[in-house]
Amino acid sequence: MTEGKRRGRKVITLYINENKKLGHINPEIYGHFSEHLGRCIYEGLYVGENSEIPNVNGMRTDVVEALKEMKVPVLRWPGGCFADEYHWKDGVGPKEKRKKMVNTNWGGVTEDNSFGTHEFFELCEQLGCKTYVNGNVGSGSVQEMSEWVEYMTLDGVSPMADWRRENGREKPWRVDYFGVGNENWGCGGNMTPDYYAQLYRRYQTYIRCYDRTAPIFKICGGANADDYEWTDTVLRECFRSPAPADAHGFMDGLSVHYYAGVEKGLHKGSATEFGEEAWFNTLSRAYGIEEVLMRHSAIMDHYDPEKKIGMMVDEWGCWHDVEPGTNPGFLYQQNTMRDALTAGVSLNIFNKHCDRIKMACIAQIVNVLQSVILTEGKKMLLTPTYHVFHMYKYHQDADLVESWLEGAGKTGVKETEMVPEVQESVSVDENGVLTVTLNNLCTEAEKEIELVLTKKKPAHVSARIVHGKMQAYNSFEEPERVTEEDFTDFRLTDRGLTFTIPACSVLMFRVEMEG
């Protein structure tokens, strides 16, 4: 039985065409974002070499190990809004001589620049991840940006390369991605799209690739959510090939930022104290990213039908009110099952648009917005969002395969904010193992699912789940209230398997197939 009723209950059927690959899922779709904001860098990732908290070269050992287990593929730094007031030369050399500054964007606190270029690459080396450096267009010069690239990547004789050596690094680092400014329509300079497009053309010229075997992927600053005029303008002005052999024109990627929260632009609401109406409001906005991405993609297709430019969703996630009693400029918020479902929904959407989306970085990695980790002194906890990323890591570098649901309805409180009851994506790795990720967005109703493969049969199946009440979260008093667990309540069939997915849950299957 594939549809209808089983034991008097409605069955949703998940069809998987395991033989039809639709695209490749870049590992960087599971990327992360770290900014000099609140306690993300300091206390979260970096505690200094002399800290009583266990560390390696200043990087928190517990946090680094947890992030390695989650398989972070790429890390973006130093912002965010901070990027366009960051002057990199203040953050190199002896720490006691580094300039101090006021972080005017985030809390008005003093930034001592003890975490700079060398520290960022040290962190990425410990994590084993790719590097994404965001340059300063808003308050920085072309020369400053050009010299930074030279400092980081030139393996030769030059003032900047020699300075890097004086500061303790003989060999250059690899810069995998370089962003030319950040949110230049807002905190990055309040620019018009035409003005930024001209600046981008100029600045990107001087991001020299000193090592042709390690090209720098150049990212143009893109739109705020549904600002389609911005995308059209920068592509019109910047997607022009300077030479016939340069198929990418002036850019390799174009960013877009999108945040889910309650009442866009207004009061966002508590991260932990909310009801069903706020639950569905947030999840409907999370679903809203798909229309935004599709409309931006349509504009990109007009200029770039061969999809040579990647869409980089390098800021996304839930943005709620800060926790009571914390600095409003630190953006510290708790993380519930609502955030876990937002992560699951968003990542499934990114998977299904992997033909255009080549990177996505959740905001932010520790102690800020939709974090995967929270810290408090020596204590550390994993959030529900962490567990979703940990389960979804098997999608990295796999191939998206065709899948669809039949029999799933809609759920919600308001007619305008209805969402699908269940949502999925499916991939297959190089060993032929399927990863199936599903989300049940219902707050109370479990759903019976029949998973059907096209030709093959399952030989071995394992599963993991994150679930709980919609307001459930982990605190330092109860750090494992929401965690990842084995899921064994499924039955193999000749065509696939059957199971019941609990309400308010994120579920992941690994399916090894016969033959």
Which residues lie across from 424 on neighbouring strands?
438
5: confidence class by pLDDT, cuts 50, 70, 90: very low
Q: Model confidence over 411-432: pLDDT tens digits?
A: 999 999 999 999 999 999 999 9
The pLDDT tens digits of the residues spanning 234-274 come to 999 998 654 444 545 699 999 999 999 755 545 689 999 99
Mean pLDDT of 268-289: 94
Structure tokens at 133: 């450096």
Residue with tokens 């994150």: 466
Q: Of the residues 380, 396, 412, which one is the last residue of a structural domain?
A: 396
Helix/strand/coil percentages in the chain, nearest 5: 30, 30, 45
Are 272 and 314 contained in the same domain? yes
Mean pLDDT of the chain: 94
Domain of 487, CATH number, reads 2.60.40.1180
Q: With both helix axes pointing from N to C terminus, report the angle between 337-352 and 384-392 in degrees, rounded to the nearest 10.
A: 30
CB 451, CB 507: distance < 8 Å: no
The answer to whether residue 4 scores a pLDDT higher than 70 is no
| Non-local CB neighbours of 499 within 8 Å, separated by 6+ positions | 448, 449, 451, 463, 487, 489, 490, 491
Model confidence over 181-200: pLDDT tens digits? Answer: 999 999 999 999 999 999 99
Q: Which of 368, 396, 424 is the last residue of a domain?
A: 396
Domain boundary among 396, 426, 450: 396
CATH number, domain at 213?
3.20.20.80
**pLDDT tens digits, 301-360:** 999 999 999 999 999 999 999 999 999 999 999 999 999 999 999 999 999 999 999 999
- Residue 295: how many CA atoms within 13 Å on its side-chain side? 15
Which tokens in the block code for residue 455? 């030709």
> Around 105, how many Cα atoms within 13 Å sit in the side-chain half-sphere?
20
User: Are 375 and 438 in a shared domain?
Assistant: no
DSSP 184-215: TTTTTT---HHHHHHHHHHHHHT---S-TTS-
Q: Which domain holds residue 245?
A: 26-396
Residues annotated as catalytic (active site), given as ranges: 183, 315
Q: How far is CA 142 from CA 137, 190, 205, in A?
A: 8, 18, 9
Contacts of 165 (CB under 8 A, 6+ apart): none
Rounded to the nearest 10 degrees, the angle between the axes of helix 117-127 and helix 142-153 is 50
Tell me: the pLDDT tens digits for 225-235? Answer: 999 999 999 99
**Under 8 Å between Cβ of 134 and 77:** yes
Instruction: Quote the percentage of the chain above a pLDDT of 70.
Output: 95
Give the residue-averaged pLDDT of 47-74.
98
pLDDT at 304: 93
Where residue 465 falls among pLDDT bands split at 50, 70, 90? very high
Beta strands 434-440 and 505-513, pairing class: antiparallel
**Both 144 and 174 in a single domain?**
yes
As a whole-number percent, the residues of the chain with pLDDT over 90 amount to 91
- 105 and 161 share one domain: yes
Q: Are residues 302 and 189 in the same domain?
A: yes
State whether 457 and 488 are in the same domain.
yes
Based on the fold, state whether residues 175 and 314 are members of the same structural domain.
yes
Cα 135 off chain centre by: 19
Q: d(Cα 476, Cα 140) in Å, to the nearest integer?
A: 41
In angstroms, the CA 361 to CA 310 distance is 14
